[in-house]
A and B are shown apart, each in its own frame.
Chain A
Amino acid sequence: MNGPPLLTVNNLTVHFRLRRSLLERSSVVVKAVDGVGFSLGTGESLGVVGESGCGKSTLGKAILQLVPESRGEVIWLGQDLGTASSSSLRMIRREMQMIFQDPLASLDPKMTVERIIGLPLRTFFPGLSRDEVRRKVLEVMEEVGLPRSVAGRYPHQFSGGQCQRIGIARVLIMRPKLIVCDEPTSALDISVQAQIINLLLQLRQDYQMSLLFISHNLAVVRHLCDRVMVLYMGKVVEIGTRDAIFASPRHPYTRVLLNAAPRVGNEARGHYSRVSLQGEPGSPVNPPPGCRFQGRCPRASEICRKEEPQLNGARESNQVACHHPH
């Protein structure tokens, strides 16, 4: 990537404190995101994959400063968002937007489509006239493939795919530099998923937008992203280019994840009989010392139980946090 990165995240940490009861002093710490760092260039798309509870959604929200518990640095074009004043944060928010998993739930049921899409514009530019906002809304609706005639309808009258288009239109109207996509296609049917993926590809191409694409669907990530980051229990276990991750994964967990994904085709049948991962992801509540994957890892040894592996930048194509990488 040329020039300075659009977004740099250093040592981002989100620890939620769960109080067991009102009177109990000791509290439980959930380490949802633990020391995550990466950078993202203009026009680049980074896929974040992992199983539920690995902190990928929290990571997306923390980058947008929606999680008050987050610590660490989020640097947007050289400015640290953690120390930014609320007014400059507001201006930066225009440039980083978010698309959500549940298309219907992310739209206010009491507002018409026109109002939903126009709201960010009216929030940031209260001076704009009604007609101006309306013109822009219709413009952006056309862009995402929504007919003008539906502008007066309410979210519950749309299918999931159309709701997701509304969500994208609401984001697109601000012409952001970065869109954080939190599982935007996992609630959609296959044929609709393809439409939304195509739309995102098209928008990326047209506007040089960066994507932070959070998903558990490896096939979608492979199709849409230039680089991939694999999270396990709040930690980055591997990060690298798409080709490196999919062709030669180095972390045992990445391998397991790629293996477990159901595959379409003749070679698929019976492939579940291959070594599949035993056990379940551990709990991010008070994780064990050492590597967090040790309990399920086929390569775990003594050092894994004692020492936490650090992200190793030996290879440019993919960095891995493992004592015994492939």
Chain B
Amino acid sequence: MSDAITAQLDQDVRGISPLRASWLRFSRNRLAVASCGVMALICLMCFALPLCFPFTGNDADFANLSAPVNLASIHPFGTDDLGRDLFLRTLEGGRMSLLLGFFGAIVSVVVSVCYGAVAGYLGGKIDALMMRTVDVLLSTPFMFLVILINLMLGRTNASLFLAVVIGLWLTPSIIARSQAVSLRNREFIYAARAGGMSSAQIIVQHVIPNSVNVVIVYSSLLVLEAILTESFLSFLGLGIQPPNASWGTLIAEGAQQLESDPRLLILPGAFLALTLLSLNYITDGLRDAFDPNDR
């Protein structure tokens, strides 16, 4: 019945694509839209605001060692014991964390969707081989992989990035594969095969676009996970190396000086928590809007 209604009520010539309909639904979710605003603000602060300061986060201001919070001064949230501006360092750390988070997530999603779609659509021995590989990687301890990468590539940002991607792409590839398996027996895929399309064409034109719902929801979750993974690795000292900073390293430093100067922990911690919180709400909103059960 609802189909007939949309067919009648919607008299305009261009149809509303399912993707656009989902975005419309998302934009009606106030909490999610507000969270998007918060995320945009955080990104803007991390990427633009450091340019307004006359010094960088690594420049020590020996005149103001361990300066207190004074919003009117040049160091609004004070400095650490080496005279580095706390606020600026947090922003610059955020830049690193967000970059890693978003790019890590995007790369993981692309890799996992392609991998999952190929395995799920082709099925049979290829599927079995590809998915057992994923199983083996999943059952290998993550820390072991990270240390291995560190040994091979050194403690560079590239190796951290690789570690994040390797840690993240496995689960979504399983999800993408199950999506592809369920698509494989849908009639429109039969129709495409009867229409003479090759497997590669079908994967690109039918399977991947129809996995996009699940992927969009999951990728926002991946950003969150990527940021957490990076922070976790940096906290352990396997991530960003000094003098560069990320929220993870800043929190690690802050934790060591918790008793003497809690600001060092609170400021990056608050940024990280706020980011994760708004990402959570965005994920929730996306999931509601792109509910895969609702075609």
Partners in one complex: yes
Residues in chain A within 8 A of chain B (CB atoms): 61, 64, 66, 90, 93-94, 96-98, 100-102, 104-113, 119-120, 123-124, 149-150, 152-154, 156-160, 162, 167, 170, 174, 180
Chain B residues near A119 (CB-CB < 8 A)? 192, 195, 197, 205
Is the Cβ of A152 less than 8 Å from the Cβ of B195? no
Question: Is B256's beta carbon under 8 Å from chain A?
Answer: no
A105-B186, A152-B14, A153-B15 known; A123+B196 contact, CB < 8 A = yes
A93-B195, A110-B17 known; A159+B3 contact, CB < 8 A = yes
A152-B14, A152-B15 known; A162+B210 contact, CB < 8 A = no
Question: Is B295's beta carbon under 8 Å from chain A?
Answer: yes
Chain A residues near B13 (CB-CB < 8 A)? 149-150, 152
Please provide the chain B residues from 196 to 219 with a CB less than 8 Å away from any CB of chain A in the complex. 196-197, 201, 205-206, 209-210, 212
Select B201's contact among A93, A123, A160, beta carbons within 8 Å. Answer: A123
A102-B187, A156-B6, A157-B10 known; A109+B295 contact, CB < 8 A = yes
Task: Kindly supply a per-residue 1/0 record for chain B positions 4-19, scoring 1 wherever the CB is within 8 Å of any chain A CB and 0 otherwise.
Answer: 1011001001111111
Select B191's contact among A90, A96, A100, beta carbons within 8 Å. Answer: A100
Cα(A157)–Cα(B4), bound, Å? 7
Is the Cβ of B191 less than 8 Å from the Cβ of A106? yes
Cα(A111)–Cα(B197), bound, Å? 16
Select B196's contact among A94, A152, A154, beta carbons within 8 Å. Answer: A94
Select A156's contact among B18, B196, B206, beta carbons within 8 Å. Answer: B18
Chain B residues near A64 (CB-CB < 8 A)? 194
Chain B residue, CB-CB nearest to A115? B205
Is the Cβ of B7 less than 8 Å from the Cβ of A162? yes
Chain B residue, CB-CB nearest to A93? B196
Q: Write the nearest CB–CB distance from B217 to chain A, whole angstroms.
A: 16
Question: Is B53's beta carbon under 8 Å from chain A?
Answer: no
Chain A residues near B55 (CB-CB < 8 A)? none
Task: Kindly supply a per-residue 1/0 record for chain B positions 41-59, scoring 1 wherever the CB is within 8 Å of any chain A CB and 0 otherwise.
Answer: 0000000000000000000
Question: Is B23's beta carbon under 8 Å from chain A?
Answer: no
Is the Cβ of A154 less than 8 Å from the Cβ of B187? no
Cα(A252)–Cα(B7), bound, Å? 46
Cα(A108)–Cα(B193), bound, Å? 13
Q: Write the nearest CB–CB distance from A82 to chain B, whole angstroms.
A: 16
Is the Cβ of B194 less than 8 Å from the Cβ of A66? yes
Chain A residues near B17 (CB-CB < 8 A)? 110, 112, 154
Q: Write the nearest CB–CB distance from B143 to chain A, whole angstroms.
A: 31
Is the Cβ of B187 less than 8 Å from the Cβ of A105? yes
A106-B187, A152-B14 known; A157+B3 contact, CB < 8 A = yes
Question: Is B142's beta carbon under 8 Å from chain A?
Answer: no
Is the Cβ of B15 less than 8 Å from the Cβ of A157? yes
Q: Which 9 A-B pairs have the closest CB atoms?
A: A153-B15, A106-B187, A93-B196, A120-B195, A98-B194, A152-B14, A105-B187, A100-B187, A154-B15
Chain B residues near A154 (CB-CB < 8 A)? 15-18
Cα(A109)–Cα(B295), bound, Å? 8
Chain B residues near A111 (CB-CB < 8 A)? 209
Is the Cβ of B7 less than 8 Å from the Cβ of A159? yes
Is the Cβ of B193 less than 8 Å from the Cβ of A66? yes
Cα(A15)–Cα(B72), bound, Å? 81
Question: Is B62's beta carbon under 8 Å from chain A?
Answer: no
- Listed by A's residue number, 6 A-B pairs whose Cβ atoms lie within 8 Å are A98-B194, A109-B210, A110-B18, A120-B195, A123-B197, A162-B7
A110-B17, A156-B3 known; A120+B210 contact, CB < 8 A = no
Q: Write the nearest CB–CB distance from B96 to chain A, whole angstroms.
A: 36
Chain B residues near A108 (CB-CB < 8 A)? 188, 192, 206, 209-210
Is the Cβ of B188 less than 8 Å from the Cβ of A106? yes
Chain A residue, CB-CB nearest to B19? A110
A61-B190, A119-B195 known; A110+B209 contact, CB < 8 A = yes
Task: Kindly supply a per-residue 1/0 record for chain B positions 111-132, scoring 1 wherever the CB is within 8 Å of any chain A CB and 0 otherwise.
Answer: 0000000000000000000000
